[in-house]
Structure 1
Amino acid sequence: MIDVQRLAVLREVARHGSFNQAAQALYCTPSAVSQQIAALERSLGAPAVERSTRGVTLTDAGRLLVEAADAIAAELADTQQRIERLAAERISLTVATFASAGRRLLPAALAAFVADHPEVELTILEAEPEESLPDVREGRADLALAYHLDGPPPARPGDRSGLDWTPLGTDPLRVVLGHLHPAAVRYQARPEPPHLAELADQRWILGCRKSADQLARHADLAGVELQISCTATDYDFAQSLVRAGIGVALIPEIGLTRHPELVALPLAEPSPRRHLGLALSRRRRGPAARLAEQLASLIAEQAEGTARQ
């Protein structure tokens, strides 16, 4: 029989990559952590970790154990929240969202939801997908409005993610220029999206750090090297720098600020984009899960309406 407490210790070792840091997180000694892992390995008859001077890595058996530990932790967190809600005789719903979607997609959906369910205690968390998806998986949130970049979605049917992913469509990144910029003037005369290579000599302002990696990949595809003048963490700030004449910005469509001095142009394909979606836990049951599904449906309707505008 696998000891659940030892699984929890292995989970911390995997999370931190060393016995010392896992011990700090568990408020015990590295020796105690090592003893727990050794006892787990004896019960399995197989090594769970590989030790080296550079730290600790999981074996194939260790990775399976950590997946099981994640599932157990999520189930326990879900059960604890359900018990707390029963004790309090109330229903709460926690929604995690990244900022630009929270500003553009959530308000109308939340207004309709609250009007239908005034008894629900609603909590909104601002979080990027790397935080919000684990929040849903581990029971800290009921629903996440998230995105992924290139590649497969964060969850697929039958996988081990513990999540159901509902696509909401794409959020293309636009190049934002001053309305008198030559590329903006050309586009008004002949609406053909500029190629990234045509803007290679510009100073670039990025609205978030992730778009820097995306832009770099697309610049490689175009065979150009771009000058990044600023990598901000706020789309409004990035667009204010464009208005000041500092450079051109790369901004997701739902993060655009409409301003008469700015023009947002599509880029010729292949162009960078984000893929929006909703994440729900497969393990959640009961009233909160049903309410999360209702809210997810409202958000999806709002996203469709926004796409048609």
Structure 2
Amino acid sequence: METRRLRLLVELARLGSMREVAEEMGLTTSTVSQQLAILARDVGAALIEPDGRRVRLTPAGRRLAEHSVTILAAVEAARLDLDPGAEPTGSLRVAGFATAIRRSLLPVQALLSVRHQGVRLLINEHEPYEAFALLDKDAVDLALVYDYNLAPAAFESRYETRPLWTVPWSLAVPTGTTRSDAWGTDWIVNSRHTADEEVVRTLAAMNGCEPRVVHRCDSLELVQDLIVAGLGVALLPAAMSVRDGIALLPLTEPEVHLRAYAVNRRGRSSWAPLALVLDLL
């Protein structure tokens, strides 16, 4: 059913005259009559009947007019929800890695709770490959992902990608371990994403050795525990506050940088809640 025809039926129920409906909507009386006849054919029921020199709604016409008020209100609500100029409202589903959630998303949530209370964030912690899969299934609206300068991601054209921030990473070793000793010892890498292992293997190759990847874990706090226990070395953010017993050795020639991005499906960024959060990010 065409919503413009439903609007004519609602106006007829309100005004009671095709002539008045025509004047109200800027149409001719014959156009109103034709459009209501098409609507009646679409729904398979008589909607109006003669009433002297005027017309009135049939019982089916009155019921459809009542439904039409609800239908048109819902259409208007949807239009406002999707209007980029309207006040954003709705739930935004986000998948992101833990650091980006803490560093970028929680400050955004603090702003939303004060300035835009109609926008609600639904947060899921995921590694990049998981976040991309959720984007493709339309299970999330926004993904916060990362790569490394030594292991760059190939972003597909179906995504819109925006760089957020970059942080340097260092070589984390037990206190007293030299850089040259570190390359030949056991390594700890991420259990859920292969990018940092790719970086480790690249760095080791540039230092003339093959890394022994022995331990895999997702938590940076657990990585620190393993280093303190003497079980290996790893890559950690250069600005991270580390436990006693760990030294962070700067990486140069080459430097290692983690790069964070905000990613959404192409064509979706005009949706008001998403546009707002992207702007705040």
Q: Normalised by the size of structure 2, how large is the TM-score?
A: 0.59
Q: Please name the residue that 1:268 is paired with.
A: 252
Structure 1 residue 86, shift from structure 2 partner:
4.4
Task: Name the CA shift for 1:109/1:253 in 2 (closer, same or farther; >3 Å).
Answer: farther
TM-superposition CA deviations, 1:44-73 (whole Å, max 9, x none): xxxxxxxxxxxxxxxxxxxxxxxxxxxxxx
Structure 1 residue 91, shift from structure 2 partner:
1.4
For 1:252 and 1:270, how far apart are their aligned partners in 2?
15
- Give the 3-state SS of the residue equivalent to 1:105 in structure 2: helix
Q: Please name the residue that 1:173 is paired with.
A: 169
Q: Please name the residue that 1:293 is paired with.
A: 275
For 1:153 and 1:182, how far apart are their aligned partners in 2?
32
For 1:285 and 1:167, how far apart are their aligned partners in 2?
15
Q: Please name the residue that 1:112 is paired with.
A: 111
CA contact (8 A) 1:147 1:274 kept: yes
Letter in 1 for 2:140: A
Q: Please name the residue that 2:100 is paired with.
A: 101
CA contact (8 A) 1:175 1:250 kept: yes
Letter in 1 for 2:257: R
CA contact (8 A) 1:163 1:282 kept: yes
1:55-94 aligned within 5 A: 86=78, 91-94=90-93
Q: 2:221 aligns with which of 208, 227, 236?
A: 236
**Which structure is larger by alpha-carbon Rg, 1 or 2?**
2
Q: 2:200 aligns with which of 215, 232, 240?
A: 215
CA contact (8 A) 2:183 2:207 kept: no
Higher helix share: 1
For 2:261 and 2:135, how far apart are their aligned partners in 1?
13
Extract structure 1 runs of 4+ deviating beyond 6 A: none
For 1:104 and 1:258, how far apart are their aligned partners in 2?
17
Q: 1:284 aligns with which of 242, 264, 268?
A: 268
Task: Name the CA shift for 1:139/1:283 in 2 (closer, same or farther; >3 Å).
Answer: farther
Letter in 1 for 2:242: R
Structure 1 residue 141, shift from structure 2 partner:
1.7
CA contact (8 A) 2:167 2:257 kept: yes
Structure 1 residue 236, shift from structure 2 partner:
1.0
For 1:117 and 1:110, how far apart are their aligned partners in 2?
9
For 1:283 and 1:137, how far apart are their aligned partners in 2?
13
CA contact (8 A) 2:184 2:209 kept: no
CA contact (8 A) 2:93 2:122 kept: yes
For 1:285 and 1:182, how far apart are their aligned partners in 2?
48
Task: Name the CA shift for 1:110/1:269 in 2 (closer, same or farther; >3 Å).
Answer: farther
Identity %: 27
Q: 2:187 aligns with which of 204, 228, 239?
A: 204
For 2:197 and 2:226, how far apart are their aligned partners in 1?
17
Q: Please name the residue that 2:230 is paired with.
A: 245
TM-superposition CA deviations, 1:29-56 (whole Å, max 9, x none): xxxxxxxxxxxxxxxxxxxxxxxxxxxx
Q: Residue 124 in 1 paired to residue 104 in 2?
A: no
Q: Normalised by the size of structure 1, how large is the TM-score?
A: 0.54
- Kindly tell me the number of residue pairs found equivalent between the two proteins: 196
Q: Please name the residue that 2:140 is paired with.
A: 141
CA contact (8 A) 1:212 1:231 kept: no
For 1:213 and 1:152, how far apart are their aligned partners in 2?
10
- Give the 3-state SS of the residue equivalent to 1:242 in structure 2: helix
RMSD, aligned CA: 3.0
Structure 2 residue runs of 5 or longer lacking an equivalent are 1-73, 82-88
CA contact (8 A) 2:112 2:119 kept: no
